Amino acid sequence: MTQTPKPAGKRLFVKSYGCQMNVYDAERMADVLGPEGFAETADVADADVIVLNTCHIREKAAEKVYSELGRLRVLKGERASRGLDTRVVVAGCVAQAEGAEIQRRMPVVDLVVGPQNYHRLPDLLARARSGPVVDTEFPVEDKFDHLPAPSRQVMQRRGVSAFVTVQEGCDKFCAFCVVPYTRGAEVSRPVAKVLADVARLAEAGIREVTLIGQNVNAYHGEGPDGRDWTLARLMARVAEVPGIARIRYTTSHPLDMDDALIAVHRDLPQAMPYLHLPVQSGSDRILKAMNRRHDAAAYLRAIDKVRAARPDIALSSDFIVGFPGETDADFEDTMRLVDRVRFAAAFSFKYSQRPGTPAADAGEQVAEPVKAERLARLQERLEAHRQAFNAGALGQVMPVLVEREGRHPGQLVGKSPYLQGVHFDAAGSGLRIGDIADVEIVALSTNSMTGRLVGERASAA
């Protein structure tokens, strides 16, 4: 084969919707196209390849893609009139769910590519030069084996905190959810591969890793001993990688919150005191209809155990209001559970009917105004608990991982162990991005905290 010169100076624009998995995947797409001569741009008008990395979880999220594609049609036309070629790519979960249908609706799209095929992007883009291409296969090869590692500079540019996918897909089949269809069956990456990724990140100066998976606490990757390792075991090994000061993981399912993982929160200093454990509803009837396979009491027992292991832990959750058949009494059960747990943070949504999911065809859909009213009440309560949790930080000294410089000279911005944003004056301190500083919280605002530097510890957690 003759060597063709790499096209230099091409620009890539990726816009991600949805969950952290998509944020991570967007980086992997940039990594796979980097060696092909693509540099990322933040300006869509400047891009030779535009990727919409889509989310199918709720109707609104999925519909956003089509309005965005309408705008891209105009942009592509304008660029063409200047003699510039543009490839429009739809990736992510809408791509997986709707496939060729997207191109039928929106001929502006050159390539539709599902989440399991990002390693094939260079080849797919080349093929898309001569006509529309769709690739939503679940290939036999492991995409992770074919995704190149980013350069040291690229890793550093992305910040001191990184996501690492350890598990993908879901076998739980909650009645409302598209993820088992868009991301496929649960697959865990082998321990050695995860550790290699973490070591590479740590060598580039990354201090915090968040191990991600749709059901991350169901992790059962092959260990060096040939056996399946749990997430708890994996975390203990990740903690041994020099430079890694903080470990987080998301998203967990209540059923997989085993004792070993709970003990990690007590025993492993690098495990951050934060747990995102979606419950969706506080009503046993609704939980059953959702196929969550646990009741409210089991969820609360898990929470109690976690709190016994790590009393200061911040808890967060996801909620759905207006699931088919949800009555006022069911909703009050949710409010009761919220008051009992007092979450530090939460995401809450109106139930959205998703094609192909069991709940979509269930009778008794809840009327839109009822959903809206329940959501408003729930969010008000969740916000009160969030503020109460944050108020508890006032006067405390916390280790803050410095992420970036602030708006004012000498100011640094970072995160507390509880994922709270903290800014503080560090003028003359010698603190750098990636350091961990002891900071006393002196004032609160709605979305951030003001701190006062009381000590520096460059390498400890």
Query: What are the angstrom distances between the C-alpha of 65 and each of 62, 298, 354?
Result: 6, 38, 16
For the CB of residue 108, give the shortest distance to ligand SAH in the complex, in Å: 28
How many amino acids of this chain bind ligand SAH (CB under 6 A)? 17
Contact 414, 398 (CB under 8 A): no
Site for ligand F3S in 89-148 (CB under 6 A): 92-93
Crossing angle (nearest 10°) for helices 191-203 and 231-238 = 30
Q: Is 374 in the site for ligand F3S (CB under 6 A)?
A: no
Query: Considering only residues 189, 246, 310, 354, which one is a binding residue for ligand SAH as defined by CB under 6 A?
Result: 354
Q: Work out how close the CB of 276 gets to ligand SF4 at its nearest, in angstroms, rounded to a whole number.
A: 11
Residue 58 near which of ligand SF4, ligand F3S, ligand SAH, none (CB within 5-8 Å, type-dependent): ligand SAH
d(CA 403, CA 161): 8
Region binding ligand SAH by CB under 6 A among candidate stretches 152-160, 347-355, 379-387, 401-409: 347-355
Binder of ligand F3S out of 86, 182, 230, 357 (CB under 6 A): 182
19 touches ligand F3S (CB under 6 A): yes
Closest by CA to 210, choosing from 163, 273, 140, 260, is 163
Cis, peptide link before residue 446, omega less than 30° from 0: no
Residue 180 binds which one of ligand F3S, ligand SAH, ligand SF4, none, with CB within 5 to 8 A depending on kind? ligand SF4
How many positions of this chain bind ligand F3S (CB under 6 A)? 13
25 CB-contact burial (10 Å; exposed 0-12 / middle 13-18 / buried 19+): buried
Residue among 341, 264, 259, 333 at smallest CA distance from 300: 341
Residue with smaller CB distance to ligand F3S, 165 or 416 = 165
Please, are residues 168 and 187 in contact by the beta-carbon 8 Å criterion? yes
Provide the phi-psi class of 348: left if phi over 0, else alpha when psi is between -120 and 50, else beta: beta
Min. distance of Cβ 344 from ligand SAH in angstroms? 17
Indicate which of ligand SF4, ligand SAH, ligand F3S, none lies near residue 331 (CB less than 5 to 8 Å, by partner kind): none
Kind and range of the H or E run holding 31? helix 20-33
CA distance 125 to 103: 15
Nearer to ligand SAH, 239 or 320 (CB): 320
Cα–Cα distance measured from residue 102 to residue 66, given in angstroms and rounded to the nearest whole number: 9
Q: Is 50 in the site for ligand F3S (CB under 6 A)?
A: no
In 3D, which of 145, 115, 111 has the Cα closest to residue 131? 111
Given the complex with ligand F3S, which of 18 and 221 has the nearer CB atom?
Answer: 18
Question: Which CB sits closer to ligand SAH, 25 or 440?
Answer: 25
Q: Taking CB under 6 A as the criterion, which residues in 203-242 touch ligand SAH?
A: 214-215
Residue of 18, 169, 324, 417 that binds ligand F3S (CB under 6 A): 18
Nearest to 155 by CA among 201, 213, 117, 196: 201
Rounded CA gap, 412 and 362, in Å?
51
Q: Which residues bind ligand F3S (CB under 6 A)?
A: 18-19, 21-22, 55-57, 92-93, 178-179, 182-183
Q: Which residues bind ligand SAH (CB under 6 A)?
A: 57-58, 176-177, 179, 214-215, 251, 253, 278, 280, 318, 320, 349, 351-352, 354
